[in-house]
Structure 1
Amino acid sequence: MAVAERIEPAERGATRIADRVVAKIAAQAAREALETAPEGGAPPHAAVTVHQDVARVRVSVELGYPGDLGGQCRAVRRQVAERVRALAGMEVPEVAVQIERLHTADAATASRGRIR
C-alpha cells in the first residue's frame, strides 16, 4: 500500500473571499462598535476594495448628536480593522468612516409629536 505524499497548503489551492463578504463583515463590526443606533437611523454600510490580502474599507454611519463623534468614529475604525483581520485574515491599513447623517434627540422627539 502506497502512502500518499503530503501536499503543502500553498500548493493545494487558494481561498478567495469576495469583496461583498468583507463589506458585510465590516458593516456588522461597525454596528457592534456603535453601542446604540440613533432612532430612525439607517444601519452602517460598507464598501471594500481588496487587493491580495489587504482590504481598504469605507464605512458609512449615522450618529446621534450631540455626542462624541470622534470617539465613535475611532471605535468603528478599531472594531472594523480587528474583525476583518480576525474573520477574513486580511490586513486593514485604512478604514475611512463617513458620517452620512446626524440625528438629534430634538428631531426624534418632534417626529413623535412630543413638543411642549
Structure 2
Amino acid sequence: MTAVTGRVAAAERGETRIADRVVAKIAAQAAGEAVDEPPEEGSSPRATVTVRRDSARVRVTLELGYPSDIGRQCGAVRRHVAERVRTLAGMEVPEVAVRVEKLHPAGPGAAAQGRIR
C-alpha cells in the first residue's frame, strides 16, 4: 500500500490464474516440438494436466515413428514440456508422464510391407 494515495499496488491486490486447459495446450505444443520426426499419418500430441497452486503435473500422449530411440524421445519430451510450462506459465512441473500410444513405420511403403516369411 502506498502512503500517498492509500491504494494497494496492482501487483499486490490480486492473483493470476491459468486454466488447466491452457497449460495442457502449452504442454501438447511443446511435446510436438520435442519429437524428432513426427509421423506423417500420426495425430498431434495431446496433454492433460492437474494444476495445484504453482505446480502442474502433466500427462502427454503421442505417436512416434518406428524405428526410433523411443526412450530418448520420451526423455526429450519430458524435459521440453517441463521447460516450456515453467517458462510460459510460471509453474513448476514435478512430473511429466509420457505415453506412446502408437508407432508408425518410417519410410516409403513401410506400412504396406507387413511381415515377410
TM-score (ref. length: structure 1)? 0.86
**1:14 alignment partner in structure 2:** 15
Structure 2 runs not aligned, ≥5 long: none
Structure 1 runs not aligned, ≥5 long: none
The Cα shift of 1:105 comes to 2.3
Inter-partner Cα distance in structure 1 for 2:100 and 2:33: 16
**2:72 equivalent to 1:83:** no
TM-score (ref. length: structure 2)? 0.85
Inter-partner Cα distance in structure 2 for 1:36 and 1:9: 45
Tell me, yes or no, if the aligned pair for 2:46 and 2:61 is still in contact at 8 Å.
yes
Compute the RMSD of aligned alpha carbons.
2.3
> Structure 1 pair 99/17, CA: closer, same or farther in 2 (3 Å)?
same
Inter-partner Cα distance in structure 2 for 1:114 and 1:64: 15
**1:26 alignment partner in structure 2:** 27
Q: Percentage identity across aligned positions?
A: 66
Inter-partner Cα distance in structure 1 for 2:72 and 2:113: 30
How is 1:1-116 mapped onto 2 (pairs within 5 angstroms)? 3-5=4-6, 7-8=8-9, 11-105=12-106, 109=109
Inter-partner Cα distance in structure 2 for 1:105 and 1:21: 32
The Cα shift of 1:5 comes to 3.9
